[in-house]
Amino acid sequence: MKRTFGKTGLWLGITFAMAAFALAAGQGIETEKGEQILSQACLSCHDPRPIQMEALDADGWTKIVNAMIQKGAQVKPADVPVFVDYLVRKHGPLPDGAGKAIVLNVCTMCHDLDRVLMHGATREEWEDTLLSMLNEGAPLSDEQFPLVLNYLARNFKPQ
Is 127 domain-assigned?
yes
**Domain membership of residue 142 as a residue range:** 100-155
Domain boundary among 68, 91, 114: 91
Is 45 domain-assigned?
yes
Q: Note the pLDDT tens digit of each residue in 50-97.
A: 888 889 999 999 999 999 999 999 999 999 999 999 999 888 899 999
Task: Answer positive or negative: Cα dihedral of 60, 66, 70, 71.
Answer: positive
- 52 close to 108: Cβ distance less than 8 angstroms: yes
Q: Note the pLDDT tens digit of each residue in 29-39.
A: 567 888 898 98
Is 125 domain-assigned?
yes
Residues 104 and 139 in one domain: yes
- 156 close to 107: Cβ distance less than 8 angstroms: no
Query: How many folded domains does the chain comprise?
Result: 2
Is 2 domain-assigned?
no
Q: Note the pLDDT tens digit of each residue in 89-143.
A: 888 899 999 999 999 999 988 888 888 888 889 999 999 999 999 999 999 999 9
Domain boundary among 91, 118, 135: 91
Residues 131 and 112 in one domain: yes
Residues 106 and 75 in one domain: no
Q: Which of 46, 112, 33 is nearest to 73 (CA)?
A: 46
Tell me the average pLDDT across 130-159.
94
Say how many residues make up the chain. Answer: 159
Nearest-angstrom CA–CA distance, 9 and 60 = 59
Query: The domain that contains 113 carries what CATH number?
Result: 1.10.760.10
